[in-house]
Structure 1
Amino acid sequence: MASDDPKRSAELVSLSGSPIYRHGNPKPWAAPQGEEFIQQISAHIERHLGPIETVFHEIASDLVHIDVHVVKPSPAFPYVRFITSGMSDLPMTVPEGAEVPRYAELMMTLPADWKTDQASFEDESWYWPIRLIKGLARLPHKHATWLGFGHTVPNGDPAEPYAPNTALCGALVLPPVSVPPAFRSLDIPGVKTVSFYAVVPLHAKEMEFKLRAGVNRLLERFDRKGVDDRVDPQRADATLKRFGLW
């Protein structure tokens, strides 16, 4: 799995100049930290996004206990939202001297008809967003690394689609745009500030384009195609025209 890792030397450098890293062996299993600030995170979600319908509590945890909060669609915002809590229990390992968030949580925004019942989650076609954000939320702590703006993580090497109902096979980390600006960070006075990032699933060619041209060029393509942090599992590749590359 490739991502930006400040603790290791780059094996490759992309054409955009960004380093490409491969994670080594993960840390051994360790008991998770207590969910000391879950109430603050829950209140923050409800204050800015709406009532939490349910929380999928993790049964078996490693290093951090990752739960997923579900906010159902509303007339004002007809999408389902999944938001993690627990990733921010531990600081990420950020580069020395870097002014980037050390504490983070992740979210995904899905279509209004996305199924969230336990029976449907037996089908990977409905469960894959939960699996994705939980895996990404634990990744920085298992590999002594960090996730932040513009980081991409493929689903395996080579990358494979997350589920049979989508060709999306990688993840891009971005500040969320389909939220009130005040939701993007939570200040816990005297303790820490938690940043909330959106996880935007990518096509394989979009990951290649980002490595070749950089994240800002990819975001330009997204703007042209109307792609943002609202996930459409069937959306077209934003780097492609009808015939060939842009």
Structure 2
Amino acid sequence: MADEKVERTPHGDIIYRHTDSKSFEPVFDSPNVEQIQRHVEKYVGKVENVFHEIISNFVHVDILLVKPTPQRNFCTLVTSGMSQRPMKTPPGVQGCEYAELLICLPPDWPMTDEAMKDESNYWPFRWLKILARFPHEYDSWLWYGHTLPNGNPARGFARNTQLSGIILAPPLMVPEEFGVLRINETKSIQFFSMFPIYTDEMNYKLNNGADGLFELMDQQKVNLILDVHRPSVCKRSLWPF
């Protein structure tokens, strides 16, 4: 594909548009389930619960829960299954075929069966699964700095928040060693934080790149534990254009 035909953001990043998904393709457990859980328990904490899937499409995605401790007073959710298959990376991009995701929730986030019937409580779980399947469903890939909106136009994930998109960030709430799990000589799994953002923050990223948005978040000391009511970092007075 000629470069001039590639759609790019104002910052110069390639825009990937996905319209046609594959048909349903049932699968079973990932072969790396035990290795991923051991990796989580080594660097993050004891896996207290696993939210298992009964029927899976494209990849079998379970969600591992590490509960709060006095040292880490928040819940950590980690996917196990996104790396069941390699992602379709762009030509020339190697070593970026496998990934898993995590998100950090407040320690009192409701997780009972009854609470999970409410989308206001369930959407982080839903979006971990959506993103874990996304590259396999659309023959694409997800990596550092990639963003996905909740619809077009983007809308809030649930009635209690205006957060409306996701950006993949480094897993900063865990030890640095957790970032990569080496399975064998040819397969390494990269872990990314699934960080919810607002529409104006997604637009800022399109104009300034992921690093520009992360720098702005760092300047304003954004809490990396999910806060559905946090203010946007993109006050108009801060925009450089």
Counterparts in 2 of 1:220-231, with a 5 A limit? 220-227=215-222, 229-231=224-226
Distance 1:35 1:210 in 2: 33
Shift of 1:11: 6.7
| 1:183-207 Cα shifts (integer Å, max 9, x gaps) | 1111112451111110010001000
**Given the alignment, which residue of 73, 77, 80 partners 2:72?**
77
Distance 2:201 2:84 in 1: 32
* Correspondence for 1:27: 22
Verify the 8 A CA contact 1:108 1:198 in the aligned structure 2: yes
Counterparts in 2 of 1:118-137, with a 5 A limit? 118-137=113-132
Verify the 8 A CA contact 1:177 1:228 in the aligned structure 2: no
Q: Give secondary structure in 2 for the equivalent of 1:200.
A: strand
TM-score between both structures, scaled by the size of structure 1? 0.91
**Given the alignment, which residue of 62, 65, 71 partners 1:67?**
62
Q: Give secondary structure in 2 for the equivalent of 1:96.
A: coil
Shift of 1:240: 1.3
* Correspondence for 1:212: 207
Q: Give secondary structure in 2 for the equivalent of 1:46.
A: helix
Distance 1:144 1:50 in 2: 33
Verify the 8 A CA contact 1:107 1:198 in the aligned structure 2: yes
Provide the aligned C-alpha RMSD in A.
2.0
TM-score between both structures, scaled by the size of structure 2? 0.93
User: Does residue 159 of structure 2 align to residue 164 of structure 1?
Assistant: yes
Distance 1:109 1:10 in 2: 38
Distance 2:23 2:163 in 1: 30
Distance 1:197 1:81 in 2: 12
Counterparts in 2 of 1:164-183, with a 5 A limit? 164-183=159-178
Verify the 8 A CA contact 1:33 1:63 in the aligned structure 2: no
Distance 1:232 1:30 in 2: 35
Distance 1:214 1:44 in 2: 31
| 1:44-98 Cα shifts (integer Å, max 9, x gaps) | 1111111111111112211111100111101001011110001000000001211
**Given the alignment, which residue of 86, 95, 105 partners 1:110?**
105
Distance 1:111 1:241 in 2: 29
User: Does residue 142 of structure 2 align to residue 141 of structure 1?
Assistant: no
Shift of 1:24: 2.1
* Correspondence for 1:203: 198
Gaps spanning 5+ residues in structure 1: where?
1-5
Q: Give secondary structure in 2 for the equivalent of 1:183.
A: helix
Shift of 1:175: 1.3
**Given the alignment, which residue of 232, 235, 241 partners 1:240?**
235
Verify the 8 A CA contact 2:116 2:122 in the aligned structure 1: yes
Distance 1:140 1:228 in 2: 28
Q: Percent same amino acid among aligned pairs?
A: 38
Q: Give secondary structure in 1 for the equivalent of 2:83.
A: helix
Verify the 8 A CA contact 1:10 1:21 in the aligned structure 2: no
Letter of the structure 2 residue corresponding to residue 174 of structure 1: A
